[in-house]
């Protein structure tokens, strides 16, 4: 495999990390990578939000906690900080550092134009590592002849 294009469509911490790990892992294997952030998946590349992603504690049966507990004020913050500690132990960096690492490794980082327009974001709202805001057509052009991973 020479090229993989990873689509990120979720904005929760646990929704973003699998994509970043897949993208970084691909670069480590010498595979060309592009990341395409769409819908709520824009969160990790919005400058003012990327350091504040949280784990979704409601509507996730795999959390094994009752929804009413997951709703308590401060609970998502607590779970998020616990998960971040566990990830640091495994050498998994915070979102900003991880994205920088992936970008420095040569991966291309794109925001989905339709989502950017829908959420009324401007170019200056984005983290500086974002290479461009592109349409879905341009995404497919860049992804041509490679694999596409949707997360």
Partner 1 sequence: METLEILGKHLAVDKDGNLVNRADWNEEIARAIAAQEGIGELTDRHWAVIRAMQKAFDRDGDAPSIRRLTNESGVDVKTLYQLFPKGPAKKAAKIAGLPKPKGCI
Contacting residues toward partner 1, per CB under 8 A: 21, 24-25, 27-30, 90-93, 101, 104-106
Question: Counting beta carbons within 10 angstroms of the beta carbon of residue 83, is it exposed (0 to 12), middle (13 to 18) or buried (19 or more)?
Answer: middle
Identity of the residue, 102 or 112, whose beta carbon is nearer to partner 1 in the bound complex: 102
Please report how close the Cβ of residue 28 comes to partner 1 at its closest, in angstroms.
5
Please report how close the Cβ of residue 95 comes to partner 1 at its closest, in angstroms.
13
Please report how close the Cβ of residue 73 comes to partner 1 at its closest, in angstroms.
33
Identity of the residue, 31 or 148, whose beta carbon is nearer to partner 1 in the bound complex: 31
The CA-atom distances, in angstroms, between 90 and each of 7, 81, 84, 94 are: 24, 15, 10, 12
Please report how close the Cβ of residue 130 comes to partner 1 at its closest, in angstroms.
17
Distance between terminal CA atoms of the chain? 19
CA proximity to 2, closest of 30, 36, 34: 30
Identity of the residue, 42 or 99, whose beta carbon is nearer to partner 1 in the bound complex: 99
Cα–Cα dist 119/128, whole Å: 19
Cα–Cα dist 21/135, whole Å: 24
Identity of the residue, 98 or 139, whose beta carbon is nearer to partner 1 in the bound complex: 98
């Amino acid at each position: 495999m020479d090229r993989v294009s990873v689509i990120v469509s979720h904005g929760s911490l646990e929704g973003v990390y699998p994509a970043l790990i897949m993208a970084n892992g691909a670069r480590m294997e010498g595979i060309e990578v592009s990341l395409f952030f769409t819908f709520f998946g824009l969160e990790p590349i919005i400058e003012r939000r990327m350091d504040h992603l949280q784990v979704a504690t409601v509507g996730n049966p795999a959390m094994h906690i009752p929804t009413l507990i997951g709703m308590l004020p401060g609970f998502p913050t607590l779970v998020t900080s616990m998960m971040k500690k566990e990830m640091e132990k495994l050498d998994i960096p915070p979102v900003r550092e991880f994205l920088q690492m992936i970008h420095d490794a040569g991966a291309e980082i794109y925001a989905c134009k339709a989502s950017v327009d829908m959420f009324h974001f401007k170019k200056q709202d984005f983290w500086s590592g974002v290479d461009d805001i592109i349409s879905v057509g341009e995404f497919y052009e860049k992804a041509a002849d490679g694999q596409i991973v949707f997360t």
